Amino acid sequence: MGECLRRTCPCLQSLWDRLFKRRDDVGSKGETGCAEDGLNSKLENNTHPVTRYGPASVHEPVDMAVYTALWAFEARADEELSFEVGDMFKIVSKNGDWWTAQKLDSCGRTLATGIVPYNYLERGETVATQPWFFGKMNRFESLSHLLSAENGDGAFLVRLSENDSVGHVLSVRVRNGAKHFKVYQTGSVFYVDQAHGFPSLLELVEYYHNHRLGAVQRLGKPCIRRQPQPQDLSHTTVDDWELPKEDFTLEEKLGSGQFADVYRGKWKRRINVAIKILKNNESLNQQDFQMEVQLLKRMRHRNLISLFAICTSSTPYYIITELMEKGNLLDVLRSAEGEALDLMSMIDMAAQVADGMVYLEDHNSIHRDLAARNVLVGEGYVCKVADFGLARIIKEAVYISTEKKIPYKWTAPEAISRGRYSNKSDVWSFGVLLYEIVTNGGVPYPGFTTNEAVKQVMHHGYRMPAPPNCPQCIYDIMLSCWSDKPENRPDFKQLKSDLENMNRYTELE
């Protein structure tokens, strides 16, 4: 009965422990050493609703499934639980990215209760018995896993596409990119090639371990999962954004701009972060700064940089964000590593940027400085849109600006001439960013000074020609972004779809 009551009324745990601890200690034991109670089945068959109190009634309902830890985690605050790979949990309440959970022993008894990052856990009954099955995942995420340094050529995973009509996809690393094979299912038969059908995904994978799969010689080792990162420093900082500077230590300088210097740093000497130290704090417009902070607080997307905290008790002000190890996209593209990227990897990176911009677009936010220098790159070539220093929340269709410090070669004509910014002016900038990507960080409007480029675009309708070796379909997207009339430009949702659908799945040769 004890275990059943613990599941249905977690808030009575401490009372139960006081009343029945001694009975648990002397209760009858099964072969595993777990106390058993014949009333369990009677209680579990009771169909009367059970009222829950405490945290579970405030947040989402208690999830009675058993969850398993996929990675180890070290507690960062007193209320958090440390745990190892394979530890089991039951969820008491779900509140955003941090859940309250009971850590269980092998008999299902509660060892401790505390707060854990949700993305370190997986429901026990859906934890794949095969290390290559990654569950629901889009191609960007699969690519970022496959391109991790631990994986070599032939590393593979099977995933469920986020597009429900697609089903299973077999993704395989090939040099610095990946090939994605759609797995078809007809009745109970799985196949990539109709000539070879299998009664299960397991047998399909085993077959291609020893046989060629299109351009892939054979499957190698299962992809190593990349450990996720919590979207906050700790559960204690989810709502407490103002933190003392003493919590942070500065390390190497990563870059310097007109408005800020950026450093690698650590929070409490443990968690890697990026620290942006603002310049000219005396002349800083407090209202603009607060608008930026409020915007960043609310933005949570896999392709947007997350704000962790701010330090404004004294100047200079700090903005604390997640750290992206590879730096900005422009530097990556111009490096030897960038030169080795194939076209499909570049298209994937552009599609990730578009995905992040879809989120901004959906939240009525404009960026106003979208360029490769303001996109950051992490392990596995995960791309995140950064530098919201010029971003604004807008209530109307456009935001009228008098700001003169604008990046002209990336800026739409209506923004240059009339200061009219909108999501469609961001689309214009995205077309220029796409040019940067396919030219490995080439300077836009080569051969033109900034003034000459502005004059040619504004007064003569000039558009950059297609870069060398640029597929026509990519250049067509650039031209659509550079339509004279903003209303004729695509939105980011369309751009994301167009880029995703290019060579989406590899056909067998």
The class level of CATH for 2-126 reads mainly beta
What is the structure's pLDDT at 18? Answer: 42
The class level of CATH for 133-208 reads alpha beta
The class level of CATH for 236-321 reads alpha beta
Q: Are 275 and 250 in contact (CB under 8 A)?
A: yes
Which H helix or E strand runs over 232?
Answer: none
Q: Are 416 and 470 in contact (CB under 8 A)?
A: no
Quote the CA–CA distance of 274 and 448 in Å, as a whole number: 35
Quote the CA–CA distance of 279 and 267 in Å, as a whole number: 21
Apex 371 CA angle, 368 and 375, nearest 5: 105
What is the structure's pLDDT at 31? Answer: 39
Instruction: Give catalytic residues, as residue numbers.
Output: 369
What is the structure's pLDDT at 344? Answer: 83
> pLDDT tens digits for the chain (509 residues)?
444 444 444 444 544 444 444 334 433 444 344 433 333 333 233 333 333 333 333 344 456 678 888 889 999 999 999 999 889 899 999 888 899 999 998 777 899 999 999 988 877 654 455 788 888 888 778 888 888 888 999 999 999 887 766 788 999 998 877 889 999 988 778 999 988 999 878 889 989 999 999 888 899 999 988 777 777 888 888 777 789 999 999 999 998 876 788 999 999 988 999 998 887 767 666 666 766 676 677 788 889 998 888 888 888 888 899 999 899 999 999 999 899 888 888 998 999 999 999 999 998 888 888 999 999 998 878 899 987 654 553 334 444 555 556 789 999 999 998 888 899 999 999 999 999 999 999 999 999 999 999 999 999 999 999 999 999 999 999 999 999 999 999 999 999 999 988 756 554 43
With H, G, I as helix, E, B as strand and everything else as coil, classify residue 436: helix
Look at residues 155, 209, 159, 153 and name the one whose alpha carbon lies nearest to residue 181. 159
- DSSP H helices, 253-328, are 286-298
DSSP code of 211? S
The pTM (predicted TM-score) of the whole model is 0.69
Q: Is 430 left (phi over 0), alpha (psi -120 to 50) or beta?
A: alpha
Output phi, psi for 195, to 5 deg. -75, -15
Residue type, 92: V
What is the structure's pLDDT at 210? Answer: 92
CB atoms within 10 A of CB 130: 12
Quote the CA–CA distance of 306 and 352 in Å, as a whole number: 15
Burial of 412 (0-12, 13-18, 19+ CB in 10 A): buried
Quote the CA–CA distance of 300 and 384 in Å, as a whole number: 11
Quote the CA–CA distance of 146 and 219 in Å, as a whole number: 13
Apex 333 CA angle, 327 and 336, nearest 5: 100
Q: Are 6 and 110 in contact (CB under 8 A)?
A: yes
Look at residues 146, 140, 139, 147 and name the one whose alpha carbon lies nearest to residue 166. 139
Strand-pair category, 121-123 with 63-69: antiparallel
Q: What share of the chain is helix, strand, coil (3-state, %, to 5)?
A: 35, 25, 40
Q: CB within 8 A of 350, min separation 6: which ones?
A: 433, 434, 437, 499
Q: Where are the domains of the chain?
A: 2-126, 133-208, 236-321, 327-500
Could you tell me the CATH superfamily of domain 327-500? Transferase(Phosphotransferase) domain 1 (1.10.510.10)
What is the structure's pLDDT at 290? Answer: 66
What is the structure's pLDDT at 381? Answer: 85
- DSSP H helices, 309-366, are 329-334, 336-339, 343-362
Residue type, 459: H
Quote the CA–CA distance of 163 and 505 in Å, as a whole number: 13
Strand-pair category, 248-256 with 189-191: unpaired
DSSP code of 247? G
Q: Is 276 annotated as a binding residue?
A: yes
